[in-house]
Amino acid sequence: MKSVMRCNVRRSMCRALGLVLCVSVWLSVGTSSAEEWELDADRIYDVGIQIFEEYAPAEWRGQVELPGPDEWRTFWREMERALQSYELIDLAWIRPEAETALSFLQVLPVTEPYASWLLQRMDYLDMAHQVLRSHMDKPDPIRPPPPPREERSLKPPAPRSPVRVSAEENRHMQSAARSEVNWNRKLAGRAAPARAAALVPGLKAIFDDEGVPPELIWLAEVESSFNPSARSPVGATGLFQFMPATAERFGMNVAPQDDRLDPHKSARAAAQYLRFLHGRFESWPLALAAYNAGEGRVGRLLRTHDGVSFEDIVAYLPSETQMYVPKVMATVALREGIDPATLPPPVRRLALRGE
């Protein structure tokens, strides 16, 4: 009986790993349209199997059953939709699937870049779940407890949670989810990513050279878990998670060689972008919000709501951005032992270099 159970667990894990590999290849290819995807689906599927055969333990080979890639496409689409949602419950709703996906993404080197991205976003899902649980005064008000690992599925949940809350309740819970006190408590005692020790001195020197407070290099922990190869399902890459257009705007090539994978080039571009954003919005919280949600969106919200600060527009930002800014600030406070509210504005580059 035990051997049968182990066999079932192994088959389940193989199937999930195969799914992960299939989608990671699809993400790496980066198809640009539905038509292109249809043309490449069979090739991507075959490459996913080849990668699995290369990395999977020998005793698992031949047991994996790869489903179609549409399941993974739907999962990542729902994950991104939840992060961009204005309702906190959407993040809590997808949390069990994201937790399961992360446990498999962390198994193989080929999927580690996606695990590094998802690991940091799990904090938003966890915070949403914590706030909702407290608000509803129930152990798990949204989803039943996850099944044993061997029975879990990576299929996405229904598009929306059947449990809804009023707009007033949502605002109240979002306020708790972005609380500085809650984020400081959540991150307290968390060890820095293993890669940070080797990278931090060089990254700080680059930020300092660009006139940006070097303490802000901890943005890389929030963006990528300090993994220079980290990738998001929408195409952001590297320590500081640059999209292709923004990378090129700040002097990085994305082809034939992707400069975003170079920690030092990525750090210089990030420092320049942060300096630009602070120059435009004259506030580090607003600059960070723009880094995450887009400078155009932040600018429009400030004009629409006659705002001058992050607090003036925070309620109108996506749930991820609402929590992203306090998470960055709490991370800086934890790693540097400072009050991030005291971070100085950038130093003008010409004055800094005496030119």
Confidence (pLDDT) at 202: 98
pLDDT (0 to 100) of residue 37: 38
pLDDT tens track for 31-60: 444 344 343 445 545 555 565 566 655 554
Are residues 104 and 191 located together in one domain of the fold?
Answer: no
- Please check whether residues 249 and 145 belong to one and the same domain: no
| Terminal-to-terminal C-alpha distance of the chain | 76
Same domain membership, residue 191 and residue 147: no
Cα separation, 223 vs 239, whole angstroms: 7
For residues 206 and 343, state if they share a domain. Answer: yes
All residue ranges of the chain with pLDDT < 70 are 1-69, 138-163, 349-355
Dihedral angle, C-alpha 261, 38, 160, 137, nearest 10 °: -40
Q: What is the CATH number of the domain that holds 200?
A: 1.10.530.10
Domain around 293: 178-353
Same domain, 183 and 270: yes
319-336 and 284-293 are packed helices; what angle lies between their axes, rounded to 10 degrees? 130
Split into its structural domains, the chain has a count of 2
Say whether 99 is catalytic: no
Residue 58: what pLDDT? 59
Positive or negative, the CA dihedral 351, 265, 242, 177 is negative
Last residue of a domain, one of 117, 152, 171: 171
Spot the catalytic one: 78, 210, 221, 223.
Answer: 223
The reply to whether 12 and 44 lie within a common domain is: yes
Whole-number pLDDT of residue 190? 97
Residues 67 and 148 in one domain: yes
Tens of pLDDT, residue by residue over 82-124, are 999 999 999 998 898 888 778 777 877 778 999 999 999 999 9
Residues 349, 296, single domain; the answer is yes
Among 156, 171, 186, residue at a domain's last position? 171
